[in-house]
Amino acid sequence: MILDNKNFSSFLQSIKSTLKSKNSNIIYTYYQKIDKDYFIKLNKKFSEQKSYFYWSKPNELFSFIATGSIYTTKSEPTIIKSIRNLTCISNIERENIKDYPLFVGGIKFPLKEKSNLWNDFDHELWFVPEITLIRNKDKFLLSYNFLKYKDNLNEYIESKIDNILNSNNLFYNENSKIETNLLINNTDYKNWINIVNSALKEIEKKEVEKVVLARIKKIELKKKFFLSDTLEYLEKEYPDCYIFAWKSNSSIFFGASPEIVGKFYNNILETDALAGSVRRGNTKVEDYELEKYLLNDPKNIEEHNYVLKYILSSLLEYSEEIKQEKISIKKLKNIQHLWTPIKVKLKKNTDINTIVKKIYPSPAICGIPKDRALKVIERLENFDRGLYTGLLGWYNSSGNGEFAVGIRSALLKNNSIYLFAGCGIVNGSKAEDEYEETELKFKPIITLLNLSS
């Protein structure tokens, strides 16, 4: 038995008066510490559920996996507005839960879809999960959310956990290796050259200053596989990234994103400009030479500055103070980026929704001007982005939250995996070079599948 019945009963007793209320806008959350070994066992079984949301920051030793849903919201605008009319009651102090998720979910890239590739996901969905496992450094927690009291609630929770522990999932085949057929579809080289050259003509005509274009690859699997090994690999190889996996119906969207939209805490916002990239070197000397090239290349600097200026101008009216660090290099396993961290002290009563909607999507994934760039993307790309370049993350009743962009990612749907990679096109871009950049960005998932592009 995992549930501490004594503590849980004590919590129910303390909220007895509110449980009798007819107010349907109260969310109750019970937190309980659990053993690390039991946490690992449960964590693996959570990833076998019909639906779940996984989030991890490996370098911060923070992760959670959530399953079930007791409360959802889909209407615009949803982030934080959905929580204004809610009262959240927990068995631990508010100060201790401000860094823990309540709502989780995401938003697709803002273009109308032309196919059913992403039909397992809503355009925008934020939900309060029923059960969540949380790791915060050396703390391992189980949380249970509920809206109203029911008889024998403790037995109900235990049965829920038992069902998870005894579940079997169609994606689970622990002892089999991933086998694949050859690459069966992708945005081919010739087509890509034509697309990029079309975008460059739009830039030459001053219709847009920058547009971000993407490619898709489709790989057919001979055997299904268990995603936990995939996530473990990504966490080990990309500890500075956001590792995520969102399963809905027959689809799983997963990846390792280096790009933050925003981290909110105590009225502070942390974000960054991440644009402009080059490969890693095979030696330390070569790596350093590529770093110097990136820091001095006019095309990459221009691409980076578009993103930086956009973010700073978008935040100006909501900020009491903005601290912008000097441009530097963010090095990942297979690629290095131009990077400018930004820290903002927000004006009082500025909510998450306002900021996120203001800066997303940024020129790093869309282009500039935003509206014109979106039209170019819609016209030139021959696939639906869906959650690729979408927004993923979490937030809570304290006004804290964290959001990332769904890049360096893939969609597992039925027996196929769809890979996505994009790059920024500006004046001076060369279609051949941009093709190589997208190949580089495909590499994390390609490597994971033991394929060569």
Question: What residues contact residue 421 under an 8 Å CB cut-off, 6+ apart?
Answer: 214, 215, 408, 438, 439, 441, 442
Q: In the predicted model, is pLDDT for residue 180 greater than 80?
A: no
- Judging by beta carbons within 10 Å of its beta carbon (0-12, 13-18, 19+), is residue 343 exposed, middle or buried? middle
Percent of the chain with pLDDT over 90: 60
Instruction: State phi, psi for 347 to the nearest 5 degrees.
Output: -65, 155
- The Cα–Cα gap between 102 and 226 comes to 27
Q: H or E element: which one contains 45? A: helix 36-46
Q: What is the pLDDT of residue 50?
A: 78
Residue 141 in contact with residue 103, Cβ under 8 Å?
Answer: no
pLDDT, average across residues 66-91: 74
Q: Give the model's confidence band at 182: pLDDT under 50 very low, under 70 low, under 90 confident, else very high.
A: very low
Q: H or E element: which one contains 274? A: strand 268-279
Q: What is the pLDDT of residue 76?
A: 52
Residue 65 in contact with residue 51, Cβ under 8 Å?
Answer: no
Residues, the chain, total?
453
User: Which of 137, 138, 161, 115 lies closest to 57 in space, CA to CA?
Assistant: 137
Question: What residues contact residue 332 under an 8 Å CB cut-off, 6+ apart?
Answer: 238, 240, 241, 258, 280
Cis peptide before 444 (omega within 30 of 0): no
Q: What is the pLDDT of residue 128?
A: 93
- CA angle (106, 438, 404) in 5-degree steps: 20
Q: Which amino acid is at 79?
A: I
Q: Which tens digits make up the pLDDT trace of 212-221?
A: 999 999 988 7
Q: What is the pLDDT of residue 104?
A: 95
Q: What is the pLDDT of residue 19?
A: 75
Question: What residues contact residue 59 under an 8 Å CB cut-off, 6+ apart?
Answer: 239, 240
Q: What is the pLDDT of residue 162?
A: 75
Provide the 3-class DSSP secondary structure of residue 321: strand
Q: What is the pLDDT of residue 1?
A: 60
Q: Residue 391, Cβ neighbours under 10 Å: how many?
A: 24
* Parallel, antiparallel or unpaired: strands 26-33 and 87-90: parallel
Provide the 3-class DSSP secondary structure of residue 128: strand
Q: In the predicted model, is pLDDT for residue 157 greater than 90?
A: no
Q: Which tens digits make up the pLDDT trace of 91-107?
A: 887 657 788 999 999 99
Q: In the predicted model, is pLDDT for residue 206 greater than 80?
A: yes
Q: Give the model's confidence band at 178: pLDDT under 50 very low, under 70 low, under 90 confident, else very high.
A: very low
Domain range summary for the chain, segments of one domain joined by +: 27-165
- State pTM to two decimals: 0.91
Percent of the chain with pLDDT over 70: 89
Provide the 3-class DSSP secondary structure of residue 448: helix
Q: Give the model's confidence band at 86: pLDDT under 50 very low, under 70 low, under 90 confident, else very high.
A: confident
Residue 175 in contact with residue 24, Cβ under 8 Å?
Answer: no
- Output the average pLDDT for the chain: 87
Q: Which tens digits make up the pLDDT trace of 391-435?
A: 999 998 888 999 999 999 999 998 889 999 999 999 989 999 999
Question: What residues contact residue 445 under an 8 Å CB cut-off, 6+ apart?
Answer: 255, 408, 409, 410, 417, 419
Q: Residue 43, Cβ neighbours under 10 Å: how many?
A: 18
User: Which of 286, 167, 280, 178 lies closest to 223 in space, CA to CA?
Assistant: 178
Q: What is the pLDDT of residue 171?
A: 38
Q: What is the pLDDT of residue 83?
A: 61
